[in-house]
Structure 1
Amino acid sequence: MRSILTMGLILIVLSQTQVFGRSVYDPSAEEAYISVEGTTATFAGSISDLNVTKFLDSVEGRVVETLVIASGGGEINAGMRLGEWVFDNQADVVVEKMCMSSCANYVFTAGRRKIINANAIVGWHGNALQKRGITDADVRAELIQAYEQLDEQAKNKLDLEGMLAQAIQQTREYMENSKAKQARFFEKIDVDEYICRVGNEEYGVRDFFLLSVEDMAKFGVRDVLAPDDYELTDLEPYRRMGKGVEFIRLISSEAVSRMIR
Protein backbone atom coordinates (compact mmCIF):
# COMPACT_ATOMS: atom_id res chain seq x y z
CA MET A 1 0.00 0.00 0.00
CA ARG A 2 1.29 3.40 -0.89
CA SER A 3 1.94 5.63 2.11
CA ILE A 4 0.00 8.86 2.44
CA LEU A 5 3.08 10.33 4.09
CA THR A 6 5.20 9.91 0.95
CA MET A 7 4.54 12.96 -1.15
CA GLY A 8 6.03 11.46 -4.27
CA LEU A 9 3.38 8.74 -4.30
CA ILE A 10 0.32 10.96 -4.01
CA LEU A 11 -2.28 10.22 -6.66
CA ILE A 12 -2.09 12.15 -9.93
CA VAL A 13 -4.80 10.41 -11.91
CA LEU A 14 -5.93 13.12 -14.27
CA SER A 15 -4.20 16.12 -15.73
CA GLN A 16 -7.26 18.34 -15.88
CA THR A 17 -10.65 18.86 -14.34
CA GLN A 18 -13.52 21.22 -15.04
CA VAL A 19 -15.08 23.35 -12.33
CA PHE A 20 -18.52 24.80 -13.03
CA GLY A 21 -17.95 24.12 -16.74
CA ARG A 22 -16.18 27.43 -17.27
CA SER A 23 -12.46 26.85 -16.98
CA VAL A 24 -10.12 23.91 -16.71
CA TYR A 25 -8.12 23.32 -13.52
CA ASP A 26 -5.58 20.69 -12.55
CA PRO A 27 -6.40 18.79 -9.32
CA SER A 28 -2.71 17.98 -8.88
CA ALA A 29 -1.42 21.46 -9.71
CA GLU A 30 1.49 22.51 -7.53
CA GLU A 31 -0.02 26.00 -7.40
CA ALA A 32 -3.69 25.51 -6.63
CA TYR A 33 -6.44 27.49 -8.32
CA ILE A 34 -8.24 29.41 -5.58
CA SER A 35 -11.22 31.70 -5.94
CA VAL A 36 -14.04 33.13 -3.86
CA GLU A 37 -17.28 34.16 -5.53
CA GLY A 38 -20.13 35.15 -3.28
CA THR A 39 -20.41 32.50 -0.59
CA THR A 40 -18.64 29.82 -2.65
CA ALA A 41 -14.90 29.15 -2.54
CA THR A 42 -13.05 26.93 -5.00
CA PHE A 43 -9.83 25.03 -4.39
CA ALA A 44 -8.34 23.00 -7.25
CA GLY A 45 -4.88 21.54 -6.86
CA SER A 46 -2.47 19.94 -4.44
CA ILE A 47 -3.10 20.34 -0.73
CA SER A 48 0.20 21.86 0.38
CA ASP A 49 0.94 24.13 3.31
CA LEU A 50 1.50 27.04 0.92
CA ASN A 51 -1.74 26.46 -1.00
CA VAL A 52 -3.78 26.09 2.17
CA THR A 53 -2.26 29.28 3.60
CA LYS A 54 -3.18 31.14 0.41
CA PHE A 55 -6.70 29.75 0.59
CA LEU A 56 -7.17 30.74 4.22
CA ASP A 57 -5.89 34.23 3.45
CA SER A 58 -8.36 34.52 0.57
CA VAL A 59 -11.38 33.57 2.69
CA GLU A 60 -10.42 35.54 5.79
CA GLY A 61 -13.29 37.79 6.80
CA ARG A 62 -15.58 36.30 4.14
CA VAL A 63 -18.77 34.33 4.67
CA VAL A 64 -18.18 31.04 2.85
CA GLU A 65 -20.92 28.44 2.87
CA THR A 66 -19.59 26.08 0.20
CA LEU A 67 -16.16 24.78 -0.73
CA VAL A 68 -15.86 23.30 -4.23
CA ILE A 69 -12.77 21.11 -4.32
CA ALA A 70 -10.87 19.12 -6.92
CA SER A 71 -7.73 17.62 -5.43
CA GLY A 72 -5.60 14.51 -5.66
CA GLY A 73 -4.45 15.05 -2.09
CA GLY A 74 -1.34 16.42 -0.45
CA GLU A 75 0.43 16.83 2.87
CA ILE A 76 -1.59 15.48 5.77
CA ASN A 77 -1.12 18.37 8.20
CA ALA A 78 -2.10 20.84 5.48
CA GLY A 79 -5.15 18.67 4.87
CA MET A 80 -6.10 18.89 8.53
CA ARG A 81 -5.69 22.68 8.48
CA LEU A 82 -8.09 22.94 5.55
CA GLY A 83 -10.45 20.41 7.11
CA GLU A 84 -10.55 22.33 10.39
CA TRP A 85 -11.49 25.48 8.52
CA VAL A 86 -14.29 23.57 6.75
CA PHE A 87 -15.59 22.18 10.03
CA ASP A 88 -15.29 25.43 12.00
CA ASN A 89 -17.17 27.31 9.27
CA GLN A 90 -19.74 24.54 8.82
CA ALA A 91 -19.15 24.69 5.08
CA ASP A 92 -20.59 22.25 2.58
CA VAL A 93 -17.99 20.39 0.51
CA VAL A 94 -18.71 19.82 -3.18
CA VAL A 95 -16.41 17.38 -4.97
CA GLU A 96 -15.64 18.06 -8.61
CA LYS A 97 -13.86 15.22 -10.39
CA MET A 98 -11.94 13.90 -7.39
CA CYS A 99 -11.12 14.27 -3.71
CA MET A 100 -8.41 11.74 -2.91
CA SER A 101 -5.96 10.91 -0.15
CA SER A 102 -5.68 13.77 2.38
CA CYS A 103 -8.57 15.54 0.65
CA ALA A 104 -10.83 12.56 1.39
CA ASN A 105 -9.40 12.04 4.87
CA TYR A 106 -9.63 15.54 6.24
CA VAL A 107 -11.59 17.86 3.95
CA PHE A 108 -14.47 15.73 2.69
CA THR A 109 -15.14 14.21 6.12
CA ALA A 110 -15.27 17.67 7.75
CA GLY A 111 -18.03 19.08 5.56
CA ARG A 112 -21.47 19.95 6.89
CA ARG A 113 -22.93 18.35 3.80
CA LYS A 114 -20.73 16.37 1.44
CA ILE A 115 -21.80 16.51 -2.19
CA ILE A 116 -20.19 14.23 -4.78
CA ASN A 117 -20.98 15.50 -8.25
CA ALA A 118 -21.59 13.25 -11.25
CA ASN A 119 -18.45 11.39 -12.41
CA ALA A 120 -16.54 12.58 -9.35
CA ILE A 121 -14.98 10.19 -6.83
CA VAL A 122 -13.77 10.25 -3.23
CA GLY A 123 -10.94 7.84 -2.48
CA TRP A 124 -8.93 6.81 0.55
CA HIS A 125 -5.64 4.95 0.89
CA GLY A 126 -4.49 5.29 4.48
CA ASN A 127 -3.59 7.88 7.09
CA ALA A 128 -1.06 8.53 9.82
CA LEU A 129 -2.05 5.32 11.64
CA GLN A 130 -1.81 2.93 8.72
CA LYS A 131 0.09 -0.29 9.35
CA ARG A 132 2.43 0.29 6.42
CA GLY A 133 3.76 3.76 7.02
CA ILE A 134 7.19 5.19 6.33
CA THR A 135 9.93 3.08 7.91
CA ASP A 136 13.51 4.01 8.70
CA ALA A 137 14.51 1.78 5.78
CA ASP A 138 12.25 3.76 3.44
CA VAL A 139 13.84 7.05 4.49
CA ARG A 140 17.31 5.60 4.15
CA ALA A 141 16.61 4.17 0.68
CA GLU A 142 15.12 7.41 -0.65
CA LEU A 143 17.96 9.55 0.67
CA ILE A 144 20.64 7.20 -0.65
CA GLN A 145 18.95 7.17 -4.03
CA ALA A 146 19.05 10.97 -4.13
CA TYR A 147 22.67 10.96 -2.92
CA GLU A 148 23.74 8.60 -5.71
CA GLN A 149 22.48 11.07 -8.30
CA LEU A 150 25.08 13.63 -7.20
CA ASP A 151 28.50 14.02 -8.77
CA GLU A 152 31.57 13.01 -6.78
CA GLN A 153 32.48 16.58 -5.86
CA ALA A 154 29.06 17.15 -4.31
CA LYS A 155 29.17 13.79 -2.52
CA ASN A 156 32.50 14.62 -0.93
CA LYS A 157 31.00 17.70 0.70
CA LEU A 158 28.26 15.74 2.45
CA ASP A 159 28.17 13.59 5.57
CA LEU A 160 25.87 10.84 4.35
CA GLU A 161 25.52 9.01 7.65
CA GLY A 162 24.83 12.25 9.48
CA MET A 163 22.21 13.19 6.90
CA LEU A 164 20.58 9.76 7.23
CA ALA A 165 20.41 9.99 11.01
CA GLN A 166 18.90 13.47 10.87
CA ALA A 167 16.34 12.50 8.21
CA ILE A 168 15.25 9.40 10.11
CA GLN A 169 14.83 11.36 13.35
CA GLN A 170 12.89 14.14 11.62
CA THR A 171 10.60 11.60 9.94
CA ARG A 172 9.90 9.85 13.25
CA GLU A 173 9.01 13.18 14.87
CA TYR A 174 6.84 14.15 11.89
CA MET A 175 4.89 10.91 12.08
CA GLU A 176 4.35 11.10 15.83
CA ASN A 177 3.22 14.73 15.65
CA SER A 178 0.91 13.89 12.75
CA LYS A 179 -0.66 11.01 14.68
CA ALA A 180 -1.38 13.27 17.64
CA LYS A 181 -2.87 16.00 15.45
CA GLN A 182 -4.94 13.46 13.57
CA ALA A 183 -6.38 12.00 16.77
CA ARG A 184 -7.51 15.46 17.88
CA PHE A 185 -8.90 16.22 14.42
CA PHE A 186 -11.12 13.16 14.12
CA GLU A 187 -12.31 13.53 17.70
CA LYS A 188 -13.32 17.10 16.89
CA ILE A 189 -15.31 16.22 13.75
CA ASP A 190 -16.68 13.01 15.35
CA VAL A 191 -15.58 10.66 12.56
CA ASP A 192 -13.85 7.30 12.96
CA GLU A 193 -10.42 7.59 11.35
CA TYR A 194 -10.52 3.94 10.32
CA ILE A 195 -12.55 4.98 7.28
CA CYS A 196 -9.22 6.08 5.78
CA ARG A 197 -7.60 2.64 5.93
CA VAL A 198 -10.29 -0.03 6.23
CA GLY A 199 -10.03 -0.95 2.55
CA ASN A 200 -6.28 -1.46 2.70
CA GLU A 201 -6.13 -3.25 6.03
CA GLU A 202 -9.31 -5.36 5.90
CA TYR A 203 -9.94 -5.87 2.19
CA GLY A 204 -6.46 -6.06 0.72
CA VAL A 205 -6.79 -2.99 -1.51
CA ARG A 206 -3.31 -2.03 -2.63
CA ASP A 207 -4.07 1.52 -3.67
CA PHE A 208 -7.23 3.65 -3.46
CA PHE A 209 -10.63 2.44 -2.34
CA LEU A 210 -14.03 4.10 -2.68
CA LEU A 211 -17.03 3.57 -0.41
CA SER A 212 -20.77 3.74 -0.87
CA VAL A 213 -22.71 6.48 0.88
CA GLU A 214 -24.18 3.82 3.15
CA ASP A 215 -20.76 2.53 4.17
CA MET A 216 -19.40 6.03 4.77
CA ALA A 217 -22.13 6.56 7.35
CA LYS A 218 -20.89 3.56 9.35
CA PHE A 219 -17.81 5.60 10.24
CA GLY A 220 -19.74 8.77 11.08
CA VAL A 221 -19.48 10.42 7.65
CA ARG A 222 -23.11 11.42 7.19
CA ASP A 223 -25.12 13.89 5.10
CA VAL A 224 -23.45 12.68 1.91
CA LEU A 225 -25.24 13.39 -1.36
CA ALA A 226 -24.09 11.40 -4.39
CA PRO A 227 -25.63 10.25 -7.68
CA ASP A 228 -27.85 7.19 -7.34
CA ASP A 229 -25.42 5.30 -9.56
CA TYR A 230 -22.30 6.51 -7.75
CA GLU A 231 -20.99 2.97 -7.32
CA LEU A 232 -21.23 2.52 -11.09
CA THR A 233 -18.95 5.48 -11.81
CA ASP A 234 -16.58 4.68 -14.66
CA LEU A 235 -13.15 4.18 -13.09
CA GLU A 236 -11.31 3.31 -16.28
CA PRO A 237 -9.98 6.86 -16.82
CA TYR A 238 -8.19 6.51 -13.49
CA ARG A 239 -6.99 2.97 -14.12
CA ARG A 240 -5.58 3.92 -17.50
CA MET A 241 -3.26 6.24 -15.62
CA GLY A 242 -1.82 3.16 -13.90
CA LYS A 243 -3.54 3.78 -10.58
CA GLY A 244 -5.50 1.23 -8.61
CA VAL A 245 -8.95 2.61 -7.83
CA GLU A 246 -11.81 0.37 -6.78
CA PHE A 247 -15.11 0.38 -4.95
CA ILE A 248 -15.49 -1.92 -1.96
CA ARG A 249 -18.60 -2.88 -0.04
CA LEU A 250 -18.22 -3.49 3.67
CA ILE A 251 -19.49 -6.72 5.14
CA SER A 252 -22.29 -6.87 7.70
CA SER A 253 -22.79 -4.06 10.19
CA GLU A 254 -21.94 -6.43 13.04
CA ALA A 255 -18.57 -7.21 11.49
CA VAL A 256 -17.94 -3.56 10.70
CA SER A 257 -18.52 -2.65 14.34
CA ARG A 258 -15.83 -5.15 15.28
CA MET A 259 -13.41 -3.74 12.71
CA ILE A 260 -13.77 -0.09 13.63
CA ARG A 261 -11.00 0.90 16.02
Structure 2
Amino acid sequence: MRRRRWSLYTVLAFGYAFLYLPVLLLVVYSFNASRLVTVWSGFSVKWYGELLHNRQLLDAAWLSIRIAATNATFAVVLGTLAANALVRHGRFRGRTGFELLLTAPLVMPDVIIGLSLLLLFVALQQLVGWPAGRGFTTITIAHITFSLAYVAVVVRARLAQMDRSLEEAAMDLGARPLTVYQRITLPLIAPALLSGWLLAFTLSLDDLVIASFVSGPGATTLPMVVYASVRMGVSPQINALATLIVVFVAVAVTIATLTSRGLGSARTNCRRTRD
Protein backbone atom coordinates (compact mmCIF):
# COMPACT_ATOMS: atom_id res chain seq x y z
CA MET A 1 0.00 0.00 0.00
CA ARG A 2 2.79 2.39 0.91
CA ARG A 3 4.70 1.53 -2.27
CA ARG A 4 1.62 2.16 -4.39
CA ARG A 5 1.10 5.52 -2.72
CA TRP A 6 4.74 6.43 -3.32
CA SER A 7 4.38 5.52 -7.01
CA LEU A 8 1.28 7.69 -7.27
CA TYR A 9 3.07 10.68 -5.75
CA THR A 10 6.03 10.13 -8.08
CA VAL A 11 3.79 10.12 -11.14
CA LEU A 12 2.02 13.27 -9.94
CA ALA A 13 5.34 15.00 -9.30
CA PHE A 14 6.60 14.18 -12.80
CA GLY A 15 3.30 15.29 -14.30
CA TYR A 16 3.30 18.67 -12.54
CA ALA A 17 6.99 19.16 -13.33
CA PHE A 18 6.32 18.45 -17.01
CA LEU A 19 3.52 21.04 -17.04
CA TYR A 20 4.93 23.83 -14.89
CA LEU A 21 8.73 23.54 -15.02
CA PRO A 22 8.92 25.12 -18.51
CA VAL A 23 6.80 28.02 -17.25
CA LEU A 24 9.11 28.46 -14.25
CA LEU A 25 12.18 28.43 -16.50
CA LEU A 26 10.55 31.02 -18.75
CA VAL A 27 10.01 33.31 -15.76
CA VAL A 28 13.59 32.81 -14.56
CA TYR A 29 15.14 33.51 -17.97
CA SER A 30 13.07 36.67 -18.35
CA PHE A 31 15.55 38.15 -15.84
CA ASN A 32 18.57 36.95 -17.83
CA ALA A 33 21.02 39.65 -18.85
CA SER A 34 22.09 37.77 -21.98
CA ARG A 35 20.37 38.18 -25.33
CA LEU A 36 20.62 34.41 -25.73
CA VAL A 37 17.61 33.01 -23.91
CA THR A 38 19.32 29.67 -23.14
CA VAL A 39 22.57 31.12 -21.72
CA TRP A 40 22.45 32.59 -18.22
CA SER A 41 24.82 35.55 -17.80
CA GLY A 42 23.46 37.30 -14.74
CA PHE A 43 20.36 38.89 -13.26
CA SER A 44 18.84 41.86 -15.06
CA VAL A 45 15.47 43.52 -15.64
CA LYS A 46 16.53 45.40 -18.78
CA TRP A 47 14.25 43.30 -21.00
CA TYR A 48 11.23 44.57 -19.12
CA GLY A 49 12.40 48.10 -19.79
CA GLU A 50 12.88 47.37 -23.48
CA LEU A 51 9.47 45.71 -23.56
CA LEU A 52 7.88 48.95 -22.37
CA HIS A 53 9.41 50.71 -25.39
CA ASN A 54 8.41 48.05 -27.93
CA ARG A 55 5.42 49.69 -29.58
CA GLN A 56 4.63 46.67 -31.75
CA LEU A 57 4.23 44.32 -28.80
CA LEU A 58 2.40 46.88 -26.66
CA ASP A 59 -0.05 47.80 -29.41
CA ALA A 60 -0.70 44.13 -30.16
CA ALA A 61 -1.21 43.38 -26.46
CA TRP A 62 -3.65 46.29 -26.05
CA LEU A 63 -5.58 45.22 -29.14
CA SER A 64 -5.80 41.63 -27.88
CA ILE A 65 -7.00 42.75 -24.45
CA ARG A 66 -9.70 44.98 -25.97
CA ILE A 67 -10.85 42.20 -28.28
CA ALA A 68 -10.84 39.65 -25.46
CA ALA A 69 -12.82 41.89 -23.07
CA THR A 70 -15.42 42.79 -25.70
CA ASN A 71 -15.69 39.19 -26.82
CA ALA A 72 -16.08 37.89 -23.27
CA THR A 73 -18.82 40.40 -22.44
CA PHE A 74 -20.92 39.69 -25.52
CA ALA A 75 -20.28 35.94 -25.24
CA VAL A 76 -21.60 35.93 -21.65
CA VAL A 77 -24.76 37.81 -22.67
CA LEU A 78 -25.50 35.66 -25.72
CA GLY A 79 -24.41 32.42 -24.05
CA THR A 80 -26.63 33.10 -21.05
CA LEU A 81 -29.62 33.79 -23.30
CA ALA A 82 -28.95 30.56 -25.21
CA ALA A 83 -28.63 28.57 -21.98
CA ASN A 84 -31.89 30.02 -20.68
CA ALA A 85 -33.67 29.04 -23.88
CA LEU A 86 -32.42 25.45 -23.65
CA VAL A 87 -33.04 24.96 -19.91
CA ARG A 88 -36.16 27.03 -19.21
CA HIS A 89 -38.28 26.70 -22.36
CA GLY A 90 -38.44 22.94 -22.83
CA ARG A 91 -39.02 21.69 -26.35
CA PHE A 92 -39.61 24.20 -29.13
CA ARG A 93 -39.48 24.14 -32.88
CA GLY A 94 -35.89 24.12 -34.10
CA ARG A 95 -34.41 23.12 -30.74
CA THR A 96 -32.32 20.29 -32.23
CA GLY A 97 -30.87 22.56 -34.89
CA PHE A 98 -30.25 25.30 -32.33
CA GLU A 99 -28.32 22.92 -30.08
CA LEU A 100 -26.34 21.64 -33.05
CA LEU A 101 -25.34 25.14 -34.12
CA LEU A 102 -24.52 26.08 -30.53
CA THR A 103 -22.23 23.12 -29.90
CA ALA A 104 -20.64 22.94 -33.36
CA PRO A 105 -17.80 25.40 -32.50
CA LEU A 106 -16.76 23.12 -29.63
CA VAL A 107 -15.75 20.30 -31.99
CA MET A 108 -15.11 22.12 -35.26
CA PRO A 109 -11.43 22.76 -36.16
CA ASP A 110 -10.28 26.35 -35.88
CA VAL A 111 -9.12 26.31 -39.50
CA ILE A 112 -12.66 25.58 -40.70
CA ILE A 113 -14.16 28.30 -38.48
CA GLY A 114 -11.60 30.87 -39.59
CA LEU A 115 -11.94 30.07 -43.28
CA SER A 116 -15.75 30.07 -43.21
CA LEU A 117 -15.87 33.41 -41.38
CA LEU A 118 -13.37 34.90 -43.82
CA LEU A 119 -15.56 33.87 -46.75
CA LEU A 120 -18.59 35.31 -44.93
CA PHE A 121 -16.93 38.69 -44.35
CA VAL A 122 -15.72 38.87 -47.94
CA ALA A 123 -19.22 38.07 -49.24
CA LEU A 124 -20.82 40.67 -46.94
CA GLN A 125 -18.32 43.30 -48.04
CA GLN A 126 -19.19 42.65 -51.68
CA LEU A 127 -22.95 42.65 -51.06
CA VAL A 128 -23.53 45.45 -48.54
CA GLY A 129 -20.11 47.06 -48.17
CA TRP A 130 -19.70 45.95 -44.56
CA PRO A 131 -17.26 45.28 -43.01
CA ALA A 132 -15.14 47.77 -44.92
CA GLY A 133 -11.95 46.06 -43.76
CA ARG A 134 -10.79 43.29 -41.53
CA GLY A 135 -9.63 44.29 -38.08
CA PHE A 136 -11.01 44.76 -34.57
CA THR A 137 -14.65 44.22 -35.55
CA THR A 138 -14.15 41.07 -37.62
CA ILE A 139 -11.82 39.47 -35.06
CA THR A 140 -14.26 40.23 -32.24
CA ILE A 141 -17.22 38.76 -34.14
CA ALA A 142 -15.19 35.66 -34.96
CA HIS A 143 -14.19 35.18 -31.33
CA ILE A 144 -17.76 35.67 -30.11
CA THR A 145 -18.89 33.00 -32.56
CA PHE A 146 -16.94 30.24 -30.84
CA SER A 147 -16.68 31.67 -27.32
CA LEU A 148 -20.41 31.84 -26.66
CA ALA A 149 -20.62 28.06 -27.09
CA TYR A 150 -18.29 27.54 -24.12
CA VAL A 151 -20.17 30.10 -22.04
CA ALA A 152 -23.51 28.45 -22.88
CA VAL A 153 -22.23 25.06 -21.71
CA VAL A 154 -21.05 26.47 -18.35
CA VAL A 155 -24.18 28.54 -17.68
CA ARG A 156 -26.50 25.77 -18.86
CA ALA A 157 -25.01 23.35 -16.35
CA ARG A 158 -25.49 25.85 -13.52
CA LEU A 159 -29.07 26.64 -14.51
CA ALA A 160 -29.94 22.97 -14.69
CA GLN A 161 -28.70 22.41 -11.12
CA MET A 162 -30.26 25.55 -9.64
CA ASP A 163 -33.04 25.25 -7.08
CA ARG A 164 -36.15 26.58 -8.83
CA SER A 165 -38.07 26.82 -5.55
CA LEU A 166 -36.31 30.11 -4.75
CA GLU A 167 -37.70 31.70 -7.91
CA GLU A 168 -41.13 30.22 -7.30
CA ALA A 169 -41.16 31.59 -3.75
CA ALA A 170 -40.28 35.07 -5.01
CA MET A 171 -43.06 34.94 -7.62
CA ASP A 172 -45.52 33.74 -4.98
CA LEU A 173 -44.68 36.87 -3.00
CA GLY A 174 -45.60 39.04 -5.98
CA ALA A 175 -42.27 39.63 -7.70
CA ARG A 176 -42.33 40.08 -11.46
CA PRO A 177 -40.37 37.63 -13.66
CA LEU A 178 -37.77 40.26 -14.57
CA THR A 179 -37.28 41.19 -10.92
CA VAL A 180 -36.93 37.52 -9.99
CA TYR A 181 -34.32 37.03 -12.67
CA GLN A 182 -32.34 40.10 -11.58
CA ARG A 183 -32.45 39.53 -7.82
CA ILE A 184 -32.62 35.73 -7.55
CA THR A 185 -31.39 34.00 -10.70
CA LEU A 186 -28.46 36.21 -11.62
CA PRO A 187 -26.83 36.13 -8.15
CA LEU A 188 -27.21 32.35 -8.05
CA ILE A 189 -25.56 31.84 -11.44
CA ALA A 190 -22.97 34.61 -10.92
CA PRO A 191 -20.07 32.13 -10.40
CA ALA A 192 -20.94 30.46 -13.72
CA LEU A 193 -21.12 33.86 -15.44
CA LEU A 194 -17.74 34.83 -14.02
CA SER A 195 -16.24 31.49 -15.05
CA GLY A 196 -17.68 31.83 -18.54
CA TRP A 197 -16.34 35.38 -18.86
CA LEU A 198 -12.85 34.33 -17.83
CA LEU A 199 -12.97 31.31 -20.13
CA ALA A 200 -14.07 33.42 -23.11
CA PHE A 201 -11.43 36.04 -22.31
CA THR A 202 -8.70 33.39 -22.18
CA LEU A 203 -9.82 31.70 -25.40
CA SER A 204 -9.82 35.02 -27.23
CA LEU A 205 -6.46 36.11 -25.85
CA ASP A 206 -4.93 32.76 -26.82
CA ASP A 207 -6.39 32.45 -30.33
CA LEU A 208 -4.00 32.48 -33.27
CA VAL A 209 -5.55 30.47 -36.09
CA ILE A 210 -8.95 32.16 -36.39
CA ALA A 211 -7.50 35.65 -35.90
CA SER A 212 -4.99 34.99 -38.68
CA PHE A 213 -7.87 34.43 -41.12
CA VAL A 214 -10.09 37.38 -40.18
CA SER A 215 -7.50 40.05 -39.40
CA GLY A 216 -6.13 42.67 -41.75
CA PRO A 217 -2.81 44.49 -42.18
CA GLY A 218 -3.67 47.09 -39.56
CA ALA A 219 -4.81 44.65 -36.88
CA THR A 220 -2.24 42.25 -35.46
CA THR A 221 -3.04 40.46 -32.23
CA LEU A 222 -0.50 39.50 -29.60
CA PRO A 223 -0.36 35.76 -30.47
CA MET A 224 0.32 36.69 -34.11
CA VAL A 225 3.20 38.98 -33.12
CA VAL A 226 4.65 36.39 -30.73
CA TYR A 227 4.40 33.65 -33.35
CA ALA A 228 6.15 35.81 -35.95
CA SER A 229 8.88 36.72 -33.42
CA VAL A 230 9.47 33.12 -32.35
CA ARG A 231 9.87 32.00 -35.96
CA MET A 232 12.87 34.34 -36.27
CA GLY A 233 14.29 33.34 -32.87
CA VAL A 234 13.05 33.77 -29.33
CA SER A 235 13.67 37.25 -27.96
CA PRO A 236 14.15 37.84 -24.22
CA GLN A 237 11.37 40.42 -24.48
CA ILE A 238 8.98 37.58 -25.27
CA ASN A 239 10.02 35.94 -22.00
CA ALA A 240 9.34 39.16 -20.13
CA LEU A 241 5.96 39.54 -21.81
CA ALA A 242 5.06 35.93 -21.04
CA THR A 243 6.03 36.44 -17.39
CA LEU A 244 3.72 39.46 -17.13
CA ILE A 245 0.89 37.42 -18.65
CA VAL A 246 1.50 34.58 -16.18
CA VAL A 247 1.36 37.03 -13.27
CA PHE A 248 -1.80 38.63 -14.65
CA VAL A 249 -3.51 35.25 -15.09
CA ALA A 250 -2.49 34.10 -11.62
CA VAL A 251 -3.93 37.25 -10.05
CA ALA A 252 -7.13 36.97 -12.10
CA VAL A 253 -7.62 33.32 -11.16
CA THR A 254 -7.03 34.11 -7.49
CA ILE A 255 -9.58 36.93 -7.55
CA ALA A 256 -12.08 34.73 -9.39
CA THR A 257 -11.61 31.93 -6.87
CA LEU A 258 -12.08 34.23 -3.89
CA THR A 259 -15.13 35.83 -5.53
CA SER A 260 -16.68 32.45 -6.24
CA ARG A 261 -16.12 31.35 -2.66
CA GLY A 262 -17.65 34.56 -1.38
CA LEU A 263 -20.71 34.13 -3.58
CA GLY A 264 -20.99 30.50 -2.52
CA SER A 265 -20.86 31.45 1.16
CA ALA A 266 -23.47 34.15 0.65
CA ARG A 267 -25.73 31.69 -1.14
CA THR A 268 -25.32 29.17 1.67
CA ASN A 269 -26.15 31.81 4.29
CA CYS A 270 -29.27 32.78 2.33
CA ARG A 271 -30.43 29.17 2.28
CA ARG A 272 -29.81 28.79 5.99
CA THR A 273 -31.74 31.97 6.68
CA ARG A 274 -34.62 30.78 4.52
CA ASP A 275 -34.67 27.41 6.29
What TM-score, normalized to structure 1?
0.26
Higher helix share: 2
Higher strand share: 1
What TM-score, normalized to structure 2?
0.25
Instruction: Give the number of the structure whose alpha-carbon radius of gyration is greater.
Output: 2
Structure with greater contact order relative to length (CA < 8 Å, sep ≥ 6): 2
